Amino acid sequence: RYKLAVYGLTGSAVFLFAAFYPVLSGIPVSTSYTTYFLRWIPSAWPF
């Protein structure tokens, strides 16, 4: 019944984890990646 919602939420969580993994783990990435791709709320996160 909720199969599509579960797959969608799981896919979203996996995507967000993969997107933020370099920052959370300390892997060096370009500043443009963190400035333009990961900055959704400008004053909330000090990336």
pTM higher than 0.75 for the full model? Answer: no
Q: Enumerate residues 6+ apart whose C-beta is below 8 A from 22.
A: 28, 29, 33
Say how many domains are in the chain.
Answer: 1
Report if residue 43 sits inside a domain.
no
Report if residue 13 sits inside a domain.
yes
The pLDDT tens digits for 25-36 are: 999 988 888 878
The pLDDT tens digits for 1-47 are: 799 999 999 999 999 999 889 988 999 988 888 878 877 766 665 65
> Do residues 34 and 47 touch, judged by C-beta distance below 8 A?
yes
> Do residues 47 and 32 touch, judged by C-beta distance below 8 A?
no
- Residues 47 and 35: their CA atoms lie apart, in Å, by 7
Q: Give the residue numbers spanning the domain of 12.
A: 3-37
Tokens found for residue 34: 């963190």
